[in-house]
Every structure is written in C-alpha cells, then in structure tokens.
Structure 1
Amino acid sequence: MNSSVKIISMNCHGLADPHKRRDVFHYLRKKSYSIYLLQDTHFDPKIENCIRAEWGYKCHFASYNSSSRGVAILFNNNFEFEVKRVYKDITGNYIFVTVKIMDKEFLIVSLYGPNRDNTEFYVELEERISEVGFENLIIGGDWNLVLDFTLDYYNYKHLNNTKAQEQVDNLMINFDLLDIWRELNPEKRRYTWRRNTPLQQSRLDFFLISDLLSTYVTDVDIEAGYRTDHSM
C-alpha cells in the first residue's frame, strides 16, 4: 500500500459514451493515483451501477443527466481508507465524501462550478460544508472562475464571474483555505483550460485545501488531460 495519497481532478468533458468512458477509465487507472475527482461526467443516474462495475472499485456519484453536469469521486485500491458519509447535490454540481485515511478524517469535495456569475451557488456550498462539519477539507474541481485575474487569465478581454470569485474568496477566508498550487507557484503562469480560436487560456481547475494540511503536501502539478479540453 502507498504511504502517500495522490489526488487528481479532471473535467472529463462528458463520459456518457461507453467507449470513451472505458478508454478514459483505463488511462486513469494506469496513472495509479489514489483518489480521482471528476467533473462534467454526463452520467445518467440509471447506469451508475454499470459505471461502478466498469471502474472496478469504490466510487460515488452526484449525477444529473447524460448530456450535462455531473461529478464523481473514484477511489483506487492502492491505499487504505474508509468512506464514512456521502452527500450529493441533486443538480450534479458537487459531491462530498468524508473519508478516514491514516487515522485522519477528511472532507473531500469534487466540484463543478456554474459557468455564470452565480454567488448563490457558493453561499449554498459554504452552508453545506458548515452543516457537514470538517477538520481537514479538500475541494478540487473545475470552478469555472479564476482566483487571480492577472496570473490566471491569458488573452481575455473581460473578467468573468467576478462576483462569484469574491464569494470564493470569502469561502477561503471563512474556512482558512489555500489555493495550494498558487501557494507553491506564487508567480508562475500555467493554465488548465484553453481554446485555440481565438487563443484563450485560464486556470479554472484547482484545489483549495485547509491551511493546516499544507505542510503535508509534497507536490502539486498541472498535467495534460485525456480526451478533454481541461488539464488535470
């Protein structure tokens, strides 16, 4: 069993097609991470048991339909853990899992933020996290916003979702969270989403973690995604 835990997040750009889904699952399993936070899964709730069998190990879903939204948390069998509780958003935008790892309990969230300036979503998210309670919080996903308009945007004419970004700032302050990639890369310009015509890039995908966990983090990186327009 691994002595470290490796967590990745990836916007899948839809996994409703069974051939793509099996191919992506095969790719992700070969990466040998511990926990996989997936967004924009497009899983139909009716076939979640089938998808669980395809993955081959424990997984939890907050699905919406086969053409939009949906998030999931998939576990590998290369480390010891115990899932305690699962909380699902009926709109398919986030899922919470409380899990015990190495005698510590964590609240892990896979999040798919609205692609609009929706402050109410993040107010609700904060309320739900407070209701669940946590000691060690890890939120990973596609937030559909950036935290630093100077460093996290490339070739944008307008700032997007500014009010929602302010609400995420409040979330970070209230829960004492860090943007761990930016913490370790204070001036670096790296992006997780891009389109070519015209060329635009932004760091929409990131992890927020409890400040007290930062001393345990040994590495944070942005890697190429697979069959998606987002990086991992």
Structure 2
Amino acid sequence: RKKRTRAHLTVGSLNMRGYGEARSDQASEKWLCINQVVRDGKIAILALQETHLTNERIDNLNQLFDATLLIHGSCDLNNPTGARGVAFAINKRLINVDEISFREEEPGRALEMNMKWTNGQTLKILNVYAPNDMTENCAFWSRRTYSYGTPAGRKLDIVMGDFNVVTDPIDRLPPHRDLLAAQESVEDFMRKVDLVDGWRERNPSKRQYTYMQQATGSQSRIDRIYVRRTLMSKANNWNMDGPGFRTDHRMVTVGLSNTSTPYQGKGRWALPSTLLTDKIFLKQMRELGMSMQAELDNQGERSEMANPQRTYASFKQKLVDAARKRARCCIPQLDRQIEAIKTDIDRACNGTGATQDRIDSLAILQERLTELEARRFGAKRRAVAANDWAMGETICKYWTRLN
C-alpha cells in the first residue's frame, strides 16, 4: 500500500561529528543510533551535518535501512571521508519518499530537498553546514543570497543546520558578537527569503545552547532552524535535546502541522500499558474492584444517588486516579535525573551569577546530562536488541512489521 505523508511532521537538525567507526563495509554504530533516534523520536526529516559520507557509504546505508530510512547526501569533493558533508535522513514510516526530490546546492555544504506535503502543499528545505572561518562563512551566505534571495530565486520554507555563527550575543557564553560581516550576511539572507529564527521568536530573552567547546567550556547556539514567517503559526514544540550518542552538538527539532487538514484533538487519556504488569497497581485495581462489588451487593432500593451506574462511575474515577498516581512513581529514576539536570541547566543559563562561574557550572552539568542521556539511549538499544532476538524469527506482529 502506498505510504501517505503525515499532516504533522517533526523535522530536526544534528551535527553528527563524523561517520563513526565501521568494520569493513558495514554501517557505523553511529548510523545505527541515528536510525533509532529517528524511530523513537518520530522524526520525519533529520538534516545531518559533518557526515563524512561517500556515495558508496550512502548506497550501503540505503541498502541496510531500506525498510525504514531514505538517506541522500552531498559529499565534500576533496576529502569526503574526512571533512564536511551534509545529508537528509527521511523516515519512510511517516513520509512518502516517492514524492521527494533533491538538489545539491553546494557540495558538502548545502543540500536542498523538495517534497509534497498534504492537501497539495509543498515544502522546500535547505540543509546547511556553514564554514567555521568567519570570512568564508560570510561568502557562503552571500552565495545563498544569490541563489535564493532574488525575486526569481527558489523560495524556501525551512533552512536548518550548523550555521557556525550567531546573530545575537545572547546566543554565546560568554556573550560576545561574531564578525559583523558574517552576522550581517546571515541576516541579509534570512530577510530576503523571509525566514525567521523560530526558537528565538518564541523565546526572545531565553538562553539555551546547542554546542559546547570541550577545551574552554564556552557554549553557543549555532544549530538552528529558520522557517518561513507564514509557517510560524504551524510550528510548535521547539526543542533542543541530546541525541543519546557521543557528539558535541545537541539536536534541534520542531513540529510542523498542516492547518488545512481537519482538526484533530488531543485524544483521550489511556491507561499506560506498563501498569498492566505492575504488581502494586494490579493489587490496587483488584481492591477497588472488590470494594465496588461489595457496595453493589449491599445496595438497597435504587435511588438517584445510589444506583449501579453511579457506583461504577465512582469506581472508574478512583481507578484513573490510582493509575495516574502510580504512573508518576513508575517513571524511571534515570528520567527523573535527566529532567532535574535540565532544570538546573536552564537555571544556570538564565542566571545572573559571574560569567566564569556559570561557564564552569554549565560545563559540568552538560557533561553529566550527556552521560545520562547516553545511558538511557543505551538501555533502549539493549531492549530493542533483546526484543529482536526473542521475536525476530517468530511469526507474530513484530515480525510482520519488520517484513
């Protein structure tokens, strides 16, 4: 059956810091992790930078992930396995890949993707990996302005990637301005293509960073997503998260909803499936059920306030309350630790203490957060591997989804 593109899409960007180690012609462990990141996060489109891909590596990856991912990359012409490289990882579970086309804007630096969305709409996305050198960075954005910033230029909906420059001192720690010419070049390009920094639009004064320099502890928000101004009303859930494997960048994501589609509500609350095997909750459920049965047995003459319907409604409400309370207790300790550290990082980023103290504190917290996220990600990978070992060769629902 032909796969339909979803009306709600999550798009993201991540500097993956190289291809990763691989044995002979096999895919690297890092790409196996990326496949899991896309699946677990339900990410429809992931723009990747510093991929170090060759055409042979891309073919091998597409063969390995044929059922789940479409990977299209642009390689550096001089040193494809050791420098630059950009790529798109497209989630085949969420997007009809037959309606996608790509165009190489600049080898190893910029890759354009065009796709059909729902209700006749289209999306044009540019994945960029701008140079570190500020003079080259300035020239890079001037070339993009020449391609896209004229009335006859190709109109863009999203630009995302590693910009290697910030346009506001608040996006660096310690705060400072980048080369003015590079800053103005980015701003001029975004103004001419009518794109805005969505996260900054939603968080005008907040500090949060996507890259930390290990040697100095300084941080910056150089990984960003710009969207067309008219798309801002459809954009939500702007996030910066650790991918779960070792890289010096955090992943930035945003959800896009096609508002031309019929309204779809939040849905109804459902009992978490993990509680169905939780002994403590099952005991509470049994006690509530027996209490209801006793109340029904002892009910006298039916009245407006005493009848089986009201008794059953009361039982259901008590059961829901007990389930919600128990679910909060069942949240893994690792998740609680991660959320606590994120709160501490947010407090430190937006605090008023001495700059050097904040840099040192944030570096420690960021390292700890990365370590915990890697542990959680590793636990998920082990659970997936165990599930595959147990049911991968058995004719069941899991097997049919794979095949």
- Cα distance in 2 for partners of 1:160, 1:67 equals 27
Question: Paired residue for 2:189, among 146, 160, 171?
Answer: 171
TM-score after normalising by structure 1? 0.90
1:50 and 2:60 are equivalent in the alignment: yes
- What is the alpha-carbon distance in structure 2 between the residues aligned to residue 84 and residue 35 of structure 1? 11
Query: What residue number does 1:63 align with?
Result: 75
1:141-152 equivalence runs, <5 A: 141-149=161-169, 151-152=170-171
Cα deviation for residue 16 of structure 1 reads: 4.5
* Paired AA for residue 164 in structure 2: N
Q: Which residue type is aligned with residue 93 of structure 1?
A: R
Question: What is the TM-score when the length of structure 2 is the normalising length?
Answer: 0.54
Residue number among 106, 114, 132 corresponding to 2:123 in the alignment: 106
Deviations 1:40-91 (A, max 9, x none): 1011223211122233322211112111110011111233445443111453
Alignment gaps of 5+ in structure 2:
22-27, 252-403
Residue 133 of structure 1 is matched in structure 2 by 154
Structure in which a larger fraction of residues adopt helix? 2
SS at match of 2:238: coil
Structure 1 residue 11 corresponds to structure 2 residue 11: no
2:112 to 96, 103, 112: 96
* Counterpart-to-counterpart distance in 1, 2:162 and 2:246: 16
Are the equivalent residues in 2 in contact too, given 1:97–1:109 (CA < 8 A)?
yes
Contact 1:61 1:71 (8 Å CA) reproduced = yes
Does the C-alpha gap of structure 1 residues 49 and 196 become closer, same or farther in structure 2, counting only changes over 3 Å?
closer
Percent identical: 25
CA contact 1:11–1:142 (8 Å) conserved in 2: yes
Stretch deviating more after TM superposition (80-89 or 98-107): 80-89
Q: How far does residue 128 in structure 1 lie from its aligned partner after superposition?
A: 2.4
Instruction: Kindly indicate whether the alpha-carbon contact (under 8 Å) linking 2:158 and 2:226 is maintained by their aligned counterparts in 1.
Output: yes
What SS is found at the alignment partner of 2:157?
strand
Tell me the distance in 1 between the aligned counterparts of 2:147 and 2:61.
27
Question: Against the structure 1 CA distance between its residues 128 and 85, is the aligned structure 2 distance closer, same or farther, given a 3 Å change threshold?
Answer: farther
Kept in 2, the 8 Å contact 1:63–1:90? The answer is no
Rg larger in structure: 2
Corresponding residue to 1:21 among 21, 31, 55: 31
Q: Is the 8 A contact 2:7 2:117 kept in 1?
A: no
Segments of 4+ moved more than 6 angstroms? none
Q: Cα–Cα, structure 1 residues 142 and 48, in superposed 2: closer, same or farther, change >3 Å?
A: same
- Decide which structure has greater strand share: 1
Secondary structure of 1:59's match? strand
SS in 2 for 1:58: strand
Name the SS for the 2:148 alignment partner. helix
Which amino acid is 1:4 matched to?
Answer: H
AA aligned opposite 2:114: T
Q: Aligned equivalents of 1:84 and 1:4: distance in 2? A: 17
Give unmatched runs, 5+ long, in structure 1.
none
Q: Relative contact order (alpha carbons < 8 A, sep ≥ 6): 1 or 2 greater?
A: 1
Alignment of 1:205-224 (within 5 A): 205-224=223-242
Partners of 2:58 and 2:71 within 8 A in 1: no
Partner SS, residue 82 of structure 2:
coil
* 1:162 Cα offset (Å): 3.1
How many residue pairs get aligned? The number is: 229
- How far is the alpha carbon of 1:214 from its aligned partner? 0.5
